[in-house]
Structure 1
Amino acid sequence: MKMTFRWFGKDNDTVSLDEVRQIPGVEGIVGALYHIPVGEVWPLEDILNLKKQVNEKGFHLDVIESVNVHEDIKLGLPSRERYIENYKQTIRNLAKAGVKVICYNFMPVFDWTRSDLAKKRSDGSTVLAYEKDKIENIDPEEMVRRIESDSNGFLLPGWERERLKTIKNLFALYKGVTEDDLFENLRYFLEQIIPVAEECGIKMAIHPDDPPWSVFGLPRIVTNKENLERIVKMVDSPSNGITLCSGSLGANPNNDIPEMFRYFLKMDRVPFVHVRNIKIHENGDFEETSHRSCDGSLDICEIVKALHDMNFQGYIRPDHGRMIWNEKARPGYGLYDRALGIMYLLGIWDSLEKQKKGRV
């Protein structure tokens, strides 16, 4: 298990690589080029510059998150051909820089949805939260305005301003698009890019929908075990993999997260893992918590045990953290709580290692 930390770049993150170096056990940085518009080729020079920054601090850049998929590809429009060719070239450029895993998603319009970016918890921390009534009773454009105003001026992954300026048009284009349509558009995309990923020695790892159900009537397909299995079988290749995310899939109590982890790890289709905990309420609302099992609805101990039992050799990172200790940072991506999450995950792993070696 290789521990990593998501970083948004020296000009776009409150967390420095020097601070990340002080978190025990972190081997790599999960990065991206956030200044490149969705659908355009990532220049090799820019990728190598990012790699140089990361390597100089003693980290690898084996994982990239995210090379976002243009909406025309998701919609299956004729213009998708240009964007798919650009995506192929980006894969090739990333491979030249030594990247091994690309995390991406196939969520229409919104990469993730929350009703609150700073819900205050009883301990005084603030967290990302999802309240169904708020989402169902708000216009998507109004939600975009609220998200932007609550983001503390930070670019939020999946909420790129140039894309969301066309939100009315996007919703019109998605009118009548079914889940089966989206599956077929994903199949077409995978059939085009996976051979390139194979040639380059890169594993593509699709991220689950967050949350794993339809929002604003938009189709969503990366939501459960059945659909994930359907996706990896669309193009039967080790390069067609999954980013298993406990928090995204776990928002639906019907998803047995430890069992899903074991199932897809056994298939050897999991190069990348996100782990976070959430507290699910009786009405289906949820909020993010610390990583500790007892603080949320997910058994993080059992999830890490599944990784350990299956001898997981891939990459893992703590996912969203709380804002604690008066930190001001991008919602979900501060330093302190993610560092605590890393130590919790590594503590579980170390205990399992000692048990395995018979020292406990």
Structure 2
Amino acid sequence: MSELQTILVVDDNPDNIDVLTGILRPYYKVKAAINGKLALKIASSKAKPDLILLDIMMPEIDGYQVCKELKANPVTRHIPVIFVTAKTEIEDEKQGFELGAVDYITKPVSMPIVLARIKTHLALYDQQRALEDQVKERTEQIEHTRAEIIKRLGRAAEYKDNETGMHVIRMSYYSKFLAQKIGCDDSWTELLFNAAPMHDIGKIGIPDAVLLKPGKLNDEEWVIMQKHVQYGADILGTDDSELLSLAREVALYHHEKWNGKGYPHGLSGEDIPLSARIVALADVFDALTSVRPYKEAWPIEKVEALFKEEAGQHFDPALVPEFLACMPQIKEIMSKYSDDKEAETFGLTE
């Protein structure tokens, strides 16, 4: 047997509460409040009512004000409110509906009308909640799909100059670890984790003769290579999505340097977005500790020494020690997603 739904009866007259309680008790759980202040407290509690029967004429806070406050509170705004009142003027009824009430019952109440109205609005409320759950679930699916597409595009770009494409997996985790270490909130940290794979998406637009050149680039080639950050920003566009916006930010600014000698804009210090300062550390660390056609992998100790030297030059000096403190987690990811292991999944999730 399903649990009984809860009705909150709000009236300053105990006799009126008794009448409504007598009507409702066989079919519902009933809570009662003898004033508006208590009603608001009960309505916003953990065990919220499924519907509220609300008197209008009460001392201190009248029913209209109670309804207004209920609808202004995100916790209670969806609870159906039915006014039960002796006020019978059309203007009174109009005001009640304008404040967000779903129905209006006049006193003295009729038991069949009360039960019928409550049944109808509870059913509508149940349908509304079910629809909201479906929309939420669908939205989460869309967000997940969008994130997965971004991850795969990031790996597609990496495949142009990385045999396994595991680089974007590792550096995304490193970025996440650092964001967590410095206390970024969970939501932004997860966005960064999903945006980081797109940092070099603009490499798709760089000619292979430049991108895959085994030796040092000449001045002309270096100018071409630097264009990948703007290409990445252009590919990601100016969509309103938080994820795509952050991915664009990372793509455009992750080659800026703390001392202002990076590119494309020569930004310095905290003018460089935090996302890009984090990804710069993660990206360079993985590049140095990975085998590339033109170099061997550096030992971690050598990279750590370089990072300490470059704190305040290439990298944010406050982030370097925090990044190095993440080394136990980083080493686990280096082992799990090493270039000589076959990836079992194309995603970044564990």
Higher share in strand: 1
Structure of higher RCO (CA pairs closer than 8 Å, 6+ residues apart): 1
TM-score normalised to structure 1 length: 0.25
Q: Considering only CA atoms, is the larger Rg found in Structure 1 or Structure 2?
A: 2
Task: With the length of structure 2 as denominator, give the TM-score of the two structures.
Answer: 0.25
More helix per residue? 2
